[in-house]
Amino acid sequence: MIRMTLAEVTHAIGGTLHVHGIDTPETVVSGVVDTDSREMGPGSVFVAKPGDVTDGHLFVDTAVHAGATLAIVERMVDAPVSQIIVDDAVVALGALAREVVARVRAAGGLKVVGITGSNGKTTTKNLLARILQEEGPTVAPRASFNNEVGAPVTMLRVTDDTRFLVSELGASRPGRIAELAGLITPDIGAVLMVGLAHAGGFGGVEATQKAKTELVQALRPGGTAVLNSDDARVAAMAVAAEERGASVRWFGRGSAADVRAEDVEVTASGTTATIHVDGRSLPLHLRVLGEHHVMNALAAITVAQLLGVDPADAISRIGTVEIAERWRMQPLGSDRVRIINDAYNASPDSMAAALRTVAQITASDQRKVAVLGAMSELGEQAGEEHDRIGLQAVRLRYERIVVIGTAARRLFLAAISEGSWDGEAVFFETADEAYDYLTTELRDGDRVLVKSSNSAGLRFLGDRLGEFFS
């Protein structure tokens, strides 16, 4: 965080300051700001956030011993540290992020990018960060820090030297993206796609579209919306951009895109394509597995170009990225048995894309194996969408379909209903049972997809299988 006095922090978050020891309102803090006491160091600010499982106020002492010099709390804690009492620690965290970003931006030089979409946010964020870090100091989220805590924590890593801030913005409910984007009023907002991820929590895909449009509506006047021209729901957001006084830059695979991909080819070593931009045709080689990641790459290239990066340089830099993120199309195991661990999250769109990718990279003399768990937050569409994935796995001729967990049982039933022989699909209640089966069933040449929503926990099964077959 930038240097701020205790008085300035207090004013920014609307709290009441209680100084400790030799501190005064003019005492300066400038360290990490976080809700995790394990992240504290000298000069840090600890935000004591109450939670469902535990309460951050219980860890103020731990944070102080790790070096924290200020605690933002909802009630006074008996600890040797200056404290600012607020009504809501999470709201205060966001308010502090807004102030810090505004100060750095006012000093000149900081460009702010917001990224949202039903799928692809984290991959696009990582690709863009890889491009921009060659241009100057860049702040981007770790993992998927995109909620009301993770996004402000990332924003607060900005310093006076930061040139680019990349914010990944997720939506747990309508209005959430508006709140997060409102903290930073992005110069550029990229919307990747509108799909069924979290549709259950929003009440349908139309409500999801409305939620993603909130990013475009939060752009700075004169900013730019980077929109997927292949997705009709995203393309419709151009109206919101015009109303905001923002321009539009299109990416996609269709002829309407300003930055366009053609000749996409998926292999076991990655994905290749030809990128057309401003009359130039440039070769792309992504080491990240999956045809669907081409769209994420296009979005990153488009944003980078708006920030002054030559597309050829952008393409060269993203070609060095080996995996999008841990547990996202992550190759494990060995050439003998290759495990593709993509179980960090799952929606119908990402599940279908992962199944197609593994089918594309599996040779005719090798077996395709799908290890699948539940897709969460689909609401009343959950049954139908699990049916669809079960049918797709069979129609892509997966030789083994291993379904895990009661919440995914309907996927299994759809697979055996569509399947043409006994034993093609099997069901297990637990990942441990599936592990015991797979360690004896898998054989040389198998290509294995492990895919589920985070809540199903199959990412750890993927790690175990990767280690077993390494």
* Residue numbering of the annotated binding site: 117-123
What does the alpha-carbon distance between residue 318 and residue 286 come to, in Å, rounded to a whole number?
7
Is-contact 351 389, C-beta < 8 A? yes
Question: Which residues are annotated binding-site positions for ATP?
Answer: 117-123
Concatenated DSSP letters of 219-270: SPTT-EEEEETT-HHHHTTHHHHHHHT-EEEEEESSTT-SEEEEEEEEETTE
Question: Residue 216 to residues 114, 316, 363: CA-CA distances in angstroms?
Answer: 9, 29, 43
Question: Environment class of residue 90 by beta-carbon count within 10 Å: exposed (0-12), middle (13-18) or buried (19+)?
Answer: middle
Residues 6+ apart with CB under 8 A from 55: 48
What does the alpha-carbon distance between residue 341 and residue 460 come to, in Å, rounded to a whole number?
9
What does the alpha-carbon distance between residue 33 and residue 62 come to, in Å, rounded to a whole number?
15
Question: Residue 385 to residues 131, 196, 226, 370: CA-CA distances in angstroms?
Answer: 36, 9, 29, 16
What does the alpha-carbon distance between residue 237 and residue 242 come to, in Å, rounded to a whole number?
9
Is 272 strand, coil or helix? strand
Q: Which two tokens stand for residue 92?
A: 């205060």
Q: Which two tokens stand for residue 430?
A: 């637990």
Sheet with 111-116, edge to edge strand ranges = 138-139, 164-168, 111-116, 188-191, 224-228, 247-252, 259-267, 270-277, 280-286
What does the alpha-carbon distance between residue 299 and residue 305 come to, in Å, rounded to a whole number?
10
Q: Which amino acid is at 14?
A: G
What does the alpha-carbon distance between residue 416 and residue 394 come to, in Å, rounded to a whole number?
9
What does the alpha-carbon distance between residue 219 and residue 181 come to, in Å, rounded to a whole number?
8
